[in-house]
Structure 1
């Protein structure tokens, strides 16, 4: 739930971002920096207090516990750690650009905040609980996700890659969203933050950059290809199986509405993989007209 909340907050923060669109750097705005500092500290303190009471405190111990869970969920949770750390880092990168810092400085600040929260707060606190314990592989996934936006600043070719996420409560289909009460009933029965069987993590590729110009011109600019990863029949002890998908994806950043507010909302929505024609290639081949 904590990472889900961070994800939603990152969405909200990103509404202040116009970094995806051409603009000139105007220098650091101290008022904006102060707002970000106070907001971040306040939000961090409130969320820590809340989750300490409902999550950590019931199983808290004084001894630090190491527990690596690399195999528990067939690495789906590692994808989750990477993704949510990436979103938090990328959102703060955008925030610091809004404040007035340059791209590279903003990316390091964003990665730092993501690592401090995800590893320095969440993972270390997990280490003092009998329920969770400190997982080195979780921490590594957090760090890799946090520093991917940094790598994009130094290696521009990585900007052809974006990470996305989609979710439908396991046991339901995206069509259930259209049925009155179905989605509400599904979300009530499922624990959203641990329902990994309902989650799919995507790596979206701007493949058109690698095509000959004669071919590229016939493909809409906003179409990408995405590779998806999901798991099914897991038992939190390493059993189950993984699924791999190949799907069309939409690069919403290619859509410029000429409205600053709408463009910022579009930037935020681009963290989501929306329903698209999809081919499952593992464990067996199956085609979906629309998969979410």
Structure 2
């Protein structure tokens, strides 16, 4: 799901103005573009068909049954998949929020439409279809995670202080390091051997904060506005039955929405990358302290 999201985000941000401060957006009804709305509708249908076909082939079809199965997998992978559901739903909702602003809707209306699209897809399509498979089943805690992610951009509209928070993601195929990628063919080998969408041992989920907002003005002015602090969550040595352990991190993060290259298309691509946590100095605080000069 994540690789489809990143491609989708890139195409969207190149096609419209990219992220904007929703608190300053005031749009009248007669500014809504029917042409753009039609493009969005067609693109949404196409995106849905392509991703459904992919997941049907790799996930659902091999274990599909006619009986609806309830299965709460709350702790199978130490809740890393819940973070994944929240993140994917958040990204999809936020992207559609940006799309509906491009169409001409106000920030609050666009966020509600974005949350609706995200919920419809992540819950109404993905989770319900999971319910008709023996491998996955319908998980209520997956639904809750999806709903939190989908409606977080809505909450940001009604509570502007939440706009200081961004959810991010980083990934290195488990069993590999950055140094491994320096060897010819190693990166390709790593990505092909690991199933990206279920390799939770290699994923880290981040909550990034614009911490400058909490500092006194005389201190804030000395800190670049593109520097954030992020809290990371990862799991290691999981066995998909509740075994393994969790890791917590505190890291420097980069708020790419504060970057302005003066080149519109380049800015949009950079804004797209803001959903990824890039390598940065990091302190692991659990299970024991360890400092990384660069952690991804």
TM-score band by shorter chain is over 0.9
Aligned mates of 1:288, 1:276 — CA distance in 2: 8
* Matched residue, 1:104: 108
Answering whether residue 170 of structure 2 is matched by residue 166 of structure 1, we say yes
User: Bigger CA drift: 223-232 or 49-58?
Assistant: 49-58
* Matched residue, 1:255: 259
Aligned mates of 1:30, 1:11 — CA distance in 2: 23
Aligned mates of 2:174, 2:113 — CA distance in 1: 36
Q: Secondary structure at the match of 1:73?
A: coil
* Matched residue, 1:9: 8
The partner residue of 1:88 within 86, 92, 102 is: 92
Whether contact under 8 Å (2:236, 2:247) holds in the other structure is yes
Aligned mates of 1:289, 1:116 — CA distance in 2: 41
Q: How does 1:179-258 map to 2 (within 5 A)?
A: 179-258=183-262
Aligned mates of 1:273, 1:34 — CA distance in 2: 33
* Matched residue, 1:290: 294
* Matched residue, 1:130: 134
Cα displacement (A) at 1:189: 1.2
Cα displacement (A) at 1:213: 1.1
User: Bigger CA drift: 86-95 or 6-15?
Assistant: 6-15
Whether contact under 8 Å (1:16, 1:98) holds in the other structure is no
Q: How does 1:21-40 map to 2 (within 5 A)?
A: 21=20, 25=27, 27-40=31-44
Cα displacement (A) at 1:49: 3.0
Whether contact under 8 Å (1:174, 1:291) holds in the other structure is no
Q: How does 1:45-56 map to 2 (within 5 A)?
A: 45-56=49-60
Q: Secondary structure at the match of 1:247?
A: strand
Alpha carbon RMSD of aligned pairs, Å?
Answer: 1.5
* Matched residue, 1:155: 159
Answering whether residue 45 of structure 2 is matched by residue 41 of structure 1, we say yes
Cα separation, partners in 2 of 1:189 and 1:77, compared to 1, 3 Å:
same
Aligned mates of 1:3, 1:116 — CA distance in 2: 17
Aligned mates of 1:8, 1:282 — CA distance in 2: 33
Q: Secondary structure at the match of 1:237?
A: coil
CA shift digits 1:187-217 (9 cap, x unpaired):
1111111111111000000000010111111
Q: How many residues align?
A: 291
Q: Secondary structure at the match of 1:244?
A: strand
CA shift digits 1:38-96 (9 cap, x unpaired):
11112212322343233212211111100000010000000000001000000010011
User: Bigger CA drift: 99-108 or 7-16?
Assistant: 7-16
Q: Secondary structure at the match of 2:41?
A: helix
TM-score (norm 2): 0.94
Aligned mates of 1:277, 1:55 — CA distance in 2: 36
Cα displacement (A) at 1:25: 4.1
Cα separation, partners in 2 of 1:142 and 1:21, compared to 1, 3 Å:
closer
Q: Secondary structure at the match of 1:258?
A: coil
Whether contact under 8 Å (2:212, 2:220) holds in the other structure is yes
TM-score (norm 1): 0.95
